[in-house]
């Protein structure tokens, strides 16, 4: 079972204020060439993030 270090008890949980909704939202579209190098960089980033999460949750990633 994975330990959740961020889980709070019911006493500690408080109602979170809702953020204000802004009417004007601007978006920007960036066009990029997708190649193997870019996919490799993104995959390495995601795997690194998963390793950090597993380490924070004290999960043994070498366990089979």
Cα–Cα distance, 46 to 51 (Å, whole number): 9
Top-confidence residue, 46 or 7: 46
Nearest to 5 by CA among 62, 45, 59: 59
Q: What is the pLDDT of residues 9-40, one digit of tens each?
A: 655 556 667 777 777 778 888 888 889 999 99
For the four alpha carbons of 6, 12, 17 and 18, in that order, the dihedral sign comes to positive
Residue range 41-60: average pLDDT? 92
Question: What pLDDT was estimated at residue 21?
Answer: 72
Does the predicted model carry a pTM greater than 0.85?
Answer: no
């Amino acid at each position: 079972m994975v330990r959740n270090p961020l889980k709070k008890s019911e006493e500690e949980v408080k109602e979170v204020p809702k953020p204000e909704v802004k009417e004007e939202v601007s978006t920007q579209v960036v066009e990029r060439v997708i190649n193997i190098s870019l996919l490799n960089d993104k995959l390495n980033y995601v795997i690194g993030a998963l390793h950090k999460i597993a380490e924070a949750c004290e999960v043994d990633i070498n366990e089979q």
